[in-house]
Structure 1
Amino acid sequence: MFAPGEFDGQELGHTTDEITGAGRDLWIEAVRVALVIAEVVAKEVARRRQQQWEQASKDAARKIWEERQRAEPVLRAALDEDFWKDPTPQDIGRAWQTAIEWGPSDPEAAAVLDHMRRELADRYGLVPNDVQLNVADLSKALALGAPALRAEAAVAREDAERWGETSSLYVIRDPNDPEQILHQGELRTVPGERLEAAAARELKEWARTHGRELDGTIGIEAVTNDGTPGGGSAAAQVTGERAEALIKDEAQWQRRLVSGEEKGSLEEVHHAVLAEWDRTEDAARLLGEGTEGYDGLREATARLALQARAVEAEMRGEEPRHVYQGATLRSKLAADEWWRTATASQVAGVWSQVGGWPDSQAKRETTQLLQNHLFVRHGLDLESTTPADAVAELLGGAESDTPAATYADRAADARAKAEELFRKSADAATDSARLTREADEMAALPGADLRAAEDKRNQALVAAGQSYLYSAQAVSAGGEAERFEATADAQAEKWNMEIEPEELREAFRQRFGHELDPASVEKLTVSASRAAAAAVPSSGAGPAPSPGTAPESSVRETSGASGEMDPEGAGAIRVAGAGLQRSARLRRGRPAAAGVPQAPPMRSRVPSASSGIG
């Protein structure tokens, strides 16, 4: 039925299949068991992890809560007004960092952050980013934003604007420790002054007063004083090791400007001249008067002062050479010798020269000086527009080769000469009468020496001749005085230079600030009339009274009026009643030339003024 071996093969195959199926089942069961075990283990691990995570979350939450509790006082403090009255950079930095850390997840911290932004902007002009504050910048802003310095800076801005200067704020600190502010203040510079050099001088002065070395351990930082809280933009920064070199370089540059070796703006040249002036004055002060070189420094100071005035004239759009010409004229006019010998044409020439200048301060000052000299020396009260030929005419005429003098003064001199000649004539006549009497007495004596008596009579005749000569000369001088007075009167009428009572009243009001009372006005008018009458020469014999002399009774009467009115009115009446000399009657109250101060050149009130806090 089966071939040989056929049954054995089939049986073997069947047996193998059974074995294979049983092994697969066992494997599947083993896998199933393994999966069950793995699931159980995984669930246990997951359960344990969940427990651990929950525990970690609780710990983290507790830690976060604790950190938030610690941050609470810092955040709350930043909302308090007292916090911002005098905070340190560290206080603000800590509060800012805390608000930055909690702001994204905490609305209260975000509100604190917004509040700090507003406060930093309003108080110190700081607009920080959302990362962190620069403590060095914050220290500088706090120093410059201090309430006291802000108040000073506001006043300084107004003052600087009024004077045409520039105001800056500054801090001094160690570049290696920028968080520590050593000093802060306000620095002033004038037009033409370099801020960097001014800051270097300020740093040098601070180091000197505080016993610090001028080295790299200190530096000054200046910012614009534009009203921005905490200071404006950076303007200059100088370290101690650079300060001396900057100061020296500026001085050398200024000397080149003064000498004209280097060109600059008018403001720069003006400041350079003033700075060199100050340095020269300091050098002269250190040398001391009487030492070698002192006089040279004083002369240099005078030249610099004149140069400063010339530059100021050019800054005003005026001709600077007139400043130098005016100085030369002032030197000439100050010499009495020039006035004693100058003719009318020479004086009028100077007047014409100055009058031909364009309007300028130099012209006004020199004209005023001329007016004062002419008033004090000749009694002429001239307007600045008076023509030069009128000046020559008033001083004796352009053709005159004698020293300049008004006809009123010439008349006074002639009148004084006439009086002196009349006195000599009277003295000679007295001598003649005495000698004649003595000769008669000698001749009447027994045994008289008739020759001696005759000699006496001859001496008497000589004295009588001298008396007649003096009298004739006096009459001639009196006639000359009358002619001069007539000319003076004509000029006074022509140029309207007489002082009338109405003008006296106006002068009184301007001087004393109120009107004369009615009694004073009446007395003044009467006294002026008496003074005018007293000035008329008498028609009787003998010498005419001096034009400057009033009758004694007139002087006494008007002087006694002081008890009837206010002292100022009495003083005015005494002047009118005394009978003014003609030259004095032409005056209107100008001050003497020596009493008119010359305006000083515009100088920096303080070359680099500063004040500080700290």
Structure 2
Amino acid sequence: MAEETDGIEEAFEGQLRVLVTAAGQVGERIARGREEALRRAQAQSEQEARELQSRLAAEQRAARAELANVHRSDWWDRATPEVIGRTYQVARAWSQEDPEAVRAEQRMNDELRTRYGVDVNSTNADPAAVRAAVERAEQERAQADAERTRAASENAEVQRLVAQANQEDQRAAEARAAAEYEPDPDERARALAEAEQREAIADRAREDGRTMYDSSERREGTARDLESRGISEETVATRMRADVSQAKPATEAVKADRGKSPKARKTRGSRGAQIQRTGLSR
């Protein structure tokens, strides 16, 4: 008599087939888009090409760190279909340029076939579900790109405000020093008034920078970025609570707490608990 199942494993594998198929397609699109962006940057100017190459190098380092997980059995034991799909997308996106991505992709191919019977070259996934997953992933990727652009613009403005505040502080200090040795009462009063005015401008610029850094939009964007990397909602929520209570501009950020880290849970949830969402990047 065939053993009956509750359908959870089948649902897990069905979702995995869809997400891996979509991830492969999106990863290839990302790789082509990166190549095109490099060509455009090189056509524009050497500086623009260097800046883009620097950003891509940082993205490649982050990708390598993420892909290192696939070589650990415990990661596979806990990974949800969406995390596997997201990581496979990263591997496909870099496999034409990075040997580490090639190794990661091969390991994922082997694990997917061994653990779940999924052949990445022929997943037999529902085409309509794959199309929907690809569209959803592309929309989320476009949103993430827009958020990164906005965050970079805000960070640049914060740095400008901090620089302005520092400059005004310096000028205020110079005015106060001049007032201290100024024998003319009128000139001394003028210098002190200038110092107070510049200190007020510095305080206002610094407060504007702090407010911008601590915007709710920035926190929401950070939360979405963390979730897209497969970090649990509980961990993201904890990070955001700490962020709200300790929010400071980048130049004033406190060092990370080096105290004891919470121990990882030793128990695994059921497959049913893992199958909650179907997005590639969320």
Output the TM-score relative to the length of structure 1: 0.20
Is the helix fraction higher in 1 or 2?
2
What is the TM-score when the length of structure 2 is the normalising length? 0.36
Q: Which has the higher contact order (CA 8 A, sep 6+)?
A: 2
Compare the two structures and name the one with the higher strand fraction: 1
Q: Could you say which structure has the larger radius of gyration? A: 1
